[in-house]
Amino acid sequence: MWKLRAYLQPYWKPALLAPILMLIEVAMDLLQPKLMAHIVNEGIVKGNLTLIQTTGLLMLGVALIGLIGGAGCTIFSTIASQNFGADLRSALFQKVQRLPFRELNRLNTGSLITRLTNDVMQVQTMVQMSLRTIRAPLLVVGSLVLAILISLKLTLILAVAVPVLFIVLFFVMRFSFPLFTRVQSRLDRVNTVLQENLSGIRVVKSFVRADYERKRFARANEDYTEMAIKAGRIIALNMPLMMLIMNASIVAVLWYGGVQTRNGSLPVGDLIAFINYVTQLLFSMLMLGNMLAFISRAQASAGRIHEVLVMETESDNTGKRDESNLFQSGQLTFENVSFAYDREQTDLVLQNISFRVEPGQTIAILGATGAGKSSLVQLIPRFYDATSGRVLIDGVDVREIPLDILRKRIGIVLQQSILFSGKVRDNICFGKPDASQEEVEAAAIAAEAHSFIMQLPDGYDTDLGQRGVNLSGGQKQRIAIARALLLRPKLLILDDSMSALDLGTESRIQQALKHLMKQSTNLIIAQRISSVVEADKIIVLDQGRITAEGTHHELLQSSSVYQEIYRSQWREEDEAYVRSR
């Protein structure tokens, strides 16, 4: 919790006013038993009606002041805690945007959602409780001091009760904290299963796997429930144990105090005041117990939040070079590049990759599933950094190019076409929000998307559902291609981005690309040979290594891997058609 204090500092004024106002309320609460004792001792016992009325009105005034202090504390603690939570969520979200893919792969989506929502809420509530429940320790100290002033002998009872209460609190904290950490981890699993199910609901229904998914969610939900109950059992012991100690203490005070009152050594009013102070003290201890139990959960959440906040972000090298001379032509070079996803960097998915692409050239990367094609292109915009070797653009290592410059000048269409809820136009303009309608339409026309967009209910103003759910796979791919083309990037990467298109549409898009992107460096990853036959160079990957490179006709003569791919996709009667293209 202490490590997150920086997010509360901007709101130090309401955070300071809240306990000050609570101090006023506590002072008024501590004054009430003294006034009550005065009424009993000087008013009721002596029959002084005027004193009773005057002191009673004073008690009402004191209660009103306490009410104002308590209400003010609630208001200012809410202001401070809510703003703290908002800033913490924002910081977490911004941090996630800057995390390297290695860290994002380690923290699954369900865990990140839990940390951004439930964990932040736990910590936010803890901050609010801390600002308000300063009442508890203040009442403990104040009640103890005033109780001692009334009767030192009776206070000896508290000398036994209070340490016992602290021992109970210690053991509750000790055993509950690790359990609440596990509770939040189980909640991660629930959110992950839920997110996977909702994202893949069409697959679930298509394969009639609803029963399996229900069982999978039930297992995750039961694990979470079981752990929450286990943690709750320990917390549940807190209240009855503390109530037992509190009630036993009050009985002891009444018995011993009654004896002193009967002997005349303790006025009745003082006994009543002492009992009130003891009750306030013990109830405050009970409140502290409940608060400390909640702290266990909030502390677990704070640790999970801090884990994300201290993660290493993507390294950027802004300011190391003259930015005006970077990434001007788009020449791409791989020099002995190897890459591994694992942190130990031992399981290489790419090994000793070397090639060069000149500006204006189109290079295609072909290979079987798992050959490393997508891994290779993800090194260019630095979604990952090469394990060894260098990736160069215009002779400069991409690790020395500021990320904003590097990625703004690369247009990339990934295997999975990700669209966002909002208008069609907003999705195409995602990388260039200030694009004109003419630019948007030109990109859509080149991507063969304009015609179907105009058939949508509101054309470019049509609202898309989450992830473009109201579009077909091919339509989503074409909008994703238009989004990349709108940037007119120096380097265009198409990562198997036409797999859902028919051959005719694919051919028309490729012809448009020749005209629109003739000054750019183009990388095409494809499964179909029809997508790459006109490339200036084709690189064949097999098990993370380059096994061959050349034009389509050259590879048909020299590469057995390329020949095998070709034979698996084309019949003999299609050969003449392909060779003639």
Is residue 319 domain-resident?
no
pLDDT 10s digits, 267-300? 888 888 888 888 888 778 777 766 766 777 788 7
Do residues 176 and 201 both lie within one domain?
yes
CA distance 266 to 330: 93
Contact (Cβ atoms closer than 8 angstroms) between residue 19 and residue 73: yes
Do residues 265 and 344 both lie within one domain?
no
CATH of the domain at 381: 3.40.50.300
Do residues 337 and 465 both lie within one domain?
no
Do residues 200 and 329 both lie within one domain?
no
pLDDT at 579: 47
pLDDT 10s digits, 472-531? 888 888 888 898 888 888 888 888 777 667 777 777 877 777 777 777 888 888 877 777
Which range is least confidently modeled, 66-75, 155-164, 372-381, 402-411?
155-164
pLDDT at 580: 43
Most confident of 62-71, 167-176, 197-206: 62-71
CA distance 35 to 54: 10
Do residues 424 and 277 both lie within one domain?
no
CA distance 348 to 513: 33
Structure tokens at 524: 């095409």
Q: Which of 455, 479, 503 is a domain's end point?
A: 479
Cβ burial of 163 (10 Å; 0-12, 13-18, 19+) is exposed
Do residues 234 and 339 both lie within one domain?
no
CA distance 413 to 374: 11
DSSP for 266-292 reads S-HHHHHHHHHHHHHHHHHHHHHHHHH
Contact (Cβ atoms closer than 8 angstroms) between residue 526 and residue 498: yes
CB atoms within 10 A of CB 432: 16
Total domains in the chain come to 3
Alpha helices in 370-472 (DSSP H): 373-377, 403-408, 424-428, 437-446, 450-454
Contact (Cβ atoms closer than 8 angstroms) between residue 521 and residue 358: yes
Do residues 457 and 569 both lie within one domain?
no
CATH of the domain at 193: 1.20.1560.10
pLDDT at 141: 84
Do residues 375 and 521 both lie within one domain?
yes
152 or 57: which carries more pLDDT confidence? 57
Helix, coil or strand: residue 17: helix
* pTM score: 0.69
CA distances from 201 to 213, 214, 368 (A): 10, 12, 28
- With tokens 């290493």, the residue in question is 312
CA distances from 61 to 52, 58, 67, 272 (A): 14, 5, 10, 21
Which range is least confidently modeled, 111-120, 186-195, 207-216, 563-572?
563-572
Do residues 387 and 509 both lie within one domain?
yes
